[in-house]
Structure 1
């Protein structure tokens, strides 16, 4: 008798498998990352053809050994609107790549799926506005910080990696600097050959990203100009490049897209 189970989770990647099937890479709380066969999904009239990337699904899965198969599929939510803007699609792809790098196969991960869904929903809500680039950058940097912390690769933004002293940014002292060394972390002072140097307000902004919500002004706008958020994105890129087994290619793509935009932001 074939065993059956139900899985609820996010489709991260879909690729061809054989002549008519597809291979689904799936994130769920109970299984972590799972790879599943979707029989007949490449046929035009297949009821299982809806397994697109960035779709929240409920699956009936059958099989005991080897590659399990999807028998039934229900779409709970599609994040297809993210594809309407190249910037939000790239930011969402960053989340997908991080999931694949941070979670082992068949390794249950509490809170990971819910965190990813929250950040995808926030990205999907971003519309065209004078703050669009900043919103995308801020959401991407914060989502990376949250996922890295859940995955055991948290940014070491609380303590100087050389002295062990607490990193307390002296707001108002604009001569103060801390240096980011991707292989070590943050060091108080200006260090030669540092990848990036942060002033007090930039470090304070980075530290606030571990909170659930983005830092905002009283008028509701995101704190910090676009240039600062690009700088913090480079911190994330430097950290992941040095500590994860593979580079998160979408980080570079997102940075190139947003750097190429004309500066029309009015957040001052």
Structure 2
């Protein structure tokens, strides 16, 4: 008899396999990422059909196989069905899932990552859908929050509290409309600058030698404030008062940062761009 094991898992990726099966990539707290066959789920009357959909959390009984394990039983304990009922929420969920697929390990417990992803998917799902700009701003804010936390659990979140070059704390200055800081992707975060026209800055290293830091983008006080909020467990209620375009800048900056430090392109991010363009356009 094949060896059996139990796992709790959330479906993050699904691919057709054979005539009626589906190959699922599942994040579990017990074993990390697993790839298993869901037999017969593409048949019309399959009992496992709905349980093999994306963002469904199942209690699984799995049999070991020579090349691929197979699901014997699946009991749904939670479903983020609301994500699939709105294109914006679905795109945000797929974005976070793609990050996790590239971060999670196989054959290693991933308890913290499992519950972190579940928390952020739940927050996005619970957003009350509206068609106004405020709702879309909240969606991007929640997405950016999830991205930052996933980068943090990987140990590569950008430094947003202190200057990466000097180690000095940086606080947004709202008293001057032209106040800005730099952000350096390869240096890992924010950089204090004295001239807003610069594209690179020089600072002494530990040996007293001048080193050049490339500035990828400039951030205003509002954008820095938003970045600094992302390290908190919860976003402030002030998200309702912030600029939609500022959150767009923050998300795209985190996207570039994640792609650089993780070494791959986030394909699902294009879905967010397409969705927002279709809903409200790219201008404030």
Evaluate the alpha carbon distance shift between residue 197 and residue 256 of structure 1 in structure 2; reply closer, same or farther with a 3 A threshold: farther
Normalising by structure 1, we get a TM-score of 0.89
Aligned to 1:15: 15
Instruction: Show the 5 A alignment for 1:81-230.
Output: 81-126=82-127, 127-128=129-130, 130=132, 131-184=134-187, 185-189=189-193, 190=196, 191-192=198-199, 194-217=215-238, 222-230=240-248
User: Which digits, 9 at most, give the CA deviation of each residue in 1:85-140, with x for residues without a partner?
Assistant: 21111111111101111112223223211111111111112211532101100100
The answer to whether the Cα contact below 8 Å between 2:22 and 2:42 also exists between their aligned partners in 1 is yes
Aligned to 1:42: 42
The ranges of structure 1 where at least 4 consecutive aligned residues each deviate by more than 4 angstroms after the TM superposition are none
Deviation at 1:42, TM superposition (A): 2.2
Deviation at 1:13, TM superposition (A): 0.8
Partner SS for 1:111:
helix
Deviation at 1:59, TM superposition (A): 0.7
Evaluate the alpha carbon distance shift between residue 74 and residue 86 of structure 1 in structure 2; reply closer, same or farther with a 3 A threshold: same
1:28 aligns with 2:32: no
Structure 2 unmatched ranges of 5 or more: 201-214
Q: Could you tell me how far apart the structure 1 residues matched to 2:47 and 2:123 are? A: 29
The answer to whether the Cα contact below 8 Å between 2:222 and 2:246 also exists between their aligned partners in 1 is no
The answer to whether the Cα contact below 8 Å between 1:237 and 1:252 also exists between their aligned partners in 2 is no
Deviation at 1:64, TM superposition (A): 6.0
Larger Rg, first or second structure (1 or 2): 2
* Residue-pair matches, total: 262
Deviation at 1:168, TM superposition (A): 2.9
The answer to whether the Cα contact below 8 Å between 1:102 and 1:148 also exists between their aligned partners in 2 is no
Evaluate the alpha carbon distance shift between residue 39 and residue 256 of structure 1 in structure 2; reply closer, same or farther with a 3 A threshold: closer
The answer to whether the Cα contact below 8 Å between 1:24 and 1:37 also exists between their aligned partners in 2 is yes
Partner SS for 2:30:
coil
1:238 aligns with 2:256: yes
RMSD: 2.2
Evaluate the alpha carbon distance shift between residue 223 and residue 146 of structure 1 in structure 2; reply closer, same or farther with a 3 A threshold: farther
Deviation at 1:5, TM superposition (A): 1.5
Evaluate the alpha carbon distance shift between residue 177 and residue 60 of structure 1 in structure 2; reply closer, same or farther with a 3 A threshold: same
